[in-house]
Amino acid sequence: MKRHHGRSRFYGALAGAVTLAVTAGGCGAAHSSSDAAPPSAAVGTSASGSAPAVDTAAWRKWGLSPLPAAPEPPADKPVKLSATGTVPVLAHIPTAQKVVFVTLDDGAEKDPKFIEMMRDLKVPITMFLMNDAIKDGYGYFKPLQEMGNHIQNHTLHHPVMNTVPLARQKEEVCGDQKILTHQYGTAPLLFRPPYGAYNANTKTAVGECGPRAIVWWRESMQINDMQYQAADHKLRPGDIILAHFRGPGELKGTTMTEMFGNLLKRIQEQGFAVARLEDYIQAPSA
Ligand SMILES: [Zn+2]
C-alpha cells in the first residue's frame, strides 16, 4: 500500500490507481479492542438543542459509546452533480463540518447481526453493491435501505476496470445499474470502481449507464483500524471511508459487527460524527 503524502500527490495518484490493497489483513493488529469503552456520562456532546436524544443503551449493547450526533446537512449541498458531461471523482466532500462518510462495498457477508446493529445505532451507510456478491440474497439489503441508506453501483463481476475495454466496462456498470434499479426500486446515483481502479473509459461507461459520479475514498477500514491516505493518520472533515461487507472468513475470525464497531471507535476517538453521503450531494435536477 503506497502512502501518499500531501493532497496534490494523492490526487495525482488517483488517476493512475491500479489495484489498491483492499485486503482484510495487513494493518492495525496493534489495536485490540481492550478499550471496550466505559459508557461515560459525557453522552450529550452535541451542543445543538435540536439533536435527537441519543440511545446510550443501544450503543452500550454493542460495547460502544455514542458518536456525536451528525449536524444538519448543509441546505446548499457542497457537491452538485450534472446530468451531462464527464463524471467527477470524489474522495471526500468539501465541508467544514466534523463529519465523515462510511461506505460499505461488495455485499458478500450477510450477517443478520449487522442489520440489528444498524437498527440500534442508526449510523448512516452507503452501500456499493456488486451483483455477483449479492445475487444469492438481494433481500438482505432491503432492511438497510428502509433505514434510509442508499444502494449504489459497484459492477456486476468486480473486474479491474482499467484493464478491460470500454464495451466490457459498460456491461459491468449498466448491468449492475439495471439489476439494482429493479431489485431496490431506485437507480444508483454513484459508482465505486472495484479496487479503486478506473480510467477515462470508466468515466464514459459510468456516465452512459446512469450514475453521475465516481466515489473514491480517503481511508480504508481493515479489521481493527483504518489505512489512511494522509501521512498523519488522521481523519479530516468530509472524508469518505471505505469498508466492506465482510465476515470472519475475510477478517481473520472477526465478525462484521466487530469490525464495524472497531470502525466506529476509531471515528469516535477523533471526535467525528458519521453523516449520510447522499445528503451532501445534489443529484442533477430532472
Ligand atoms: Zn469491491
Residue 56 alpha carbon to ligand 1 centre in Å: 33
Residue 114 alpha carbon to ligand 1 centre in Å: 19
Residue 261 alpha carbon to ligand 1 centre in Å: 21
Residue 234 alpha carbon to ligand 1 centre in Å: 24
Q: From first to last of the 286 residues of the chain, give the pLDDT tens digit.
A: 334 333 333 333 333 333 343 333 333 333 333 333 333 434 444 444 455 678 899 999 999 999 999 999 999 999 999 999 999 999 999 999 999 999 999 999 999 999 999 999 999 999 999 999 999 999 999 999 999 999 999 999 999 999 999 999 999 999 999 999 999 999 999 999 999 999 999 999 999 999 999 999 999 999 999 999 899 999 999 999 999 999 999 999 999 999 999 999 999 999 999 999 999 999 998 6
If 0-12 CB within 10 Å is exposed, 13-18 middle and 19+ buried, where does residue 101 land? buried
Cell 500531501, located at residue? 6
Which element (helix H / strand E) includes 256? helix 256-269
C-alpha dist (Å) from residue 79 to 70, 170, 208, 234, 275: 18, 25, 20, 23, 14
In the chain the domains, ranked by start, together with CATH numbers, are 94-286 (3.20.20.370)
Q: What is the DSSP letter of 140?
A: G
Confidence (pLDDT) at 31: 35
Residue 207 alpha carbon to ligand 1 centre in Å: 19
* Cell numbers at 36, concatenated: 471496550
User: How far apart (Å, rounded) are the C-alpha atoms in residues 189 and 187?
Assistant: 6
Find how far residue 168's CA is from the centre of its chain. 25
Task: Give, to the nearest 10 degrees, the angle between helix 166-184 and helix 200-209.
Answer: 30
Residue 194 alpha carbon to ligand 1 centre in Å: 5
**What are φ and ψ of residue 198, in 5° steps?**
-155, 165
User: How far apart (Å, rounded) are the C-alpha atoms in residues 275 and 80?
Assistant: 17
If 0-12 CB within 10 Å is exposed, 13-18 middle and 19+ buried, where does residue 238 land? buried
Confidence (pLDDT) at 55: 87
Q: Which of 191, 130, 204, 129 is nearest to 164 (CA)?
A: 204
